[in-house]
């Protein structure tokens, strides 16, 4: 290391001929290959004292590469007047139906247009503060390209109560998914730990390394031969859990370009996954409440194609 926010490597014969973005990610494993691609594009990488912005450059033995890593910017979150599909609301809880393509909370690269921006506009100061300024009210999340129901806590007491229910696995979370291939059984369970993929830090994987217990229950709803419509119920809630578990048992989600075939089929290029049913005990009354959202039109269109075929 040269200084706090930069590092320097000298290319040896082992790395010779490797693309520079890959060489940097192999030398500095804390950051991903895509991180270094962006670093190159922003002019923060030097080769032999000269700035290089081409990620296609293939390194040569003896090259001296210096990368400058900028200080992370402090994210701020602003309320935005974005329409919300609200299923339920009172002084404690907000239940919303998130559309596919919307990020739940801001992060680098997605600092506006998120569900949090919309909820802040709608609720004002009436949101729990437990998860900090970037994720006010957020008790659980679903992926950007997953649609469906989410609960938002409007105060800290409600947040703690809902988080306890999540920890106890007493919250009902049932998804609809279209997956590849037929099943020999009508229902089953995947009980395999999930953690960051040891070979690709941008993915999750079934692994025993730094992983957490993950359990997914599934049952067949409709068979189409090459594809199957299933219900998947979460016992635990790990990042990408349904997508990882289904891929692990050789039934990846249709349209999942990360964990499934990287090709567009039936006009679909994002995972066919919808959080359809959400049930929990109300933080104040203790009454069990359950909500069900309709499948998005895109999901229904794919089902109609499969039924026709």
Q: Is-contact 268 255, C-beta < 8 A?
A: yes
Beta bridge partners of 210: none
**Burial class of residue 149, CB neighbours in 10 A (0-12, 13-18, 19+):** buried
Beta bridge partners of 46: 51, 66
User: Residues with Cβ < 8 Å from 184, sequence gap 6 or more?
Assistant: none
Q: Out of 143, 186, 200, 269, which one is annotated catalytic?
A: 143
Closest CA to 1 of 27, 34, 39, 36: 27
143 counts as catalytic: yes
CA 115 centroid distance within chain: 14
CA 26 centroid distance within chain: 24
User: How far apart are alpha carbons 110 and 116 in whole angstroms?
Assistant: 11
Which are the catalytic amino acids?
Answer: 143
């Amino acid at each position: 290391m040269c200084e706090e926010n930069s590092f320097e490597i000298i290319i040896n014969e082992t790395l010779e001929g490797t693309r520079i973005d890959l060489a940097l990610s192999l030398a500095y494993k804390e950051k991903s290959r895509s991180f270094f691609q962006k670093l190159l594009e922003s002019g923060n990488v030097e080769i032999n004292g000269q700035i290089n912005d081409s990620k296609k450059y293939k390194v040569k033995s003896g090259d001296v590469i210096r990368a400058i890593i900028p200080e992370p910017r402090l994210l701020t979150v602003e309320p935005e007047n974005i329409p919300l599909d609200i299923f339920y609301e009172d002084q404690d809880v907000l239940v919303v139906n998130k559309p596919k393509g919307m990020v739940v909370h801001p992060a680098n690269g997605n600092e506006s247009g998120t569900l949090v921006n919309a909820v802040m506009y709608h609720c004002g100061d009436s949101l729990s503060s437990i998860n900090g300024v970037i994720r006010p009210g957020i008790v659980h999340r679903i992926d950007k390209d997953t649609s469906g129901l989410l609960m938002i806590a409007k105060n800290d007491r409600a947040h703690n109560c809902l988080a306890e229910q999540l920890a106890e696995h007493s919250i009902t979370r049932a998804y609809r998914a279209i997956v590849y291939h037929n099943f020999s059984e009508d229902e089953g369970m995947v009980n395999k730990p999930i953690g960051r993929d040891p070979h690709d830090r941008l993915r999750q994987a079934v692994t025993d390394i730094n992983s957490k217990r993950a359990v997914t229950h599934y049952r067949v709803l409709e068979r189409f031969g090459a594809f199957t419509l299933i219900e998947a119920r979460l016992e635990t809630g790990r990042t990408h859990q349904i997508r990882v578990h289904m891929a692990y048992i050789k039934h990846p989600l249709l349209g999942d370009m990360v964990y499934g075939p990287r090709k567009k089929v039936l006009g679909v290029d994002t995972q066919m996954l919808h959080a359809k049913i959400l049930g929990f005990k109300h933080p104040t009354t203790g009454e069990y409440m359950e909500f069900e959202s309709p499948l998005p039109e895109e999901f229904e269109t794919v089902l109609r194609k499969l039924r026709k075929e």
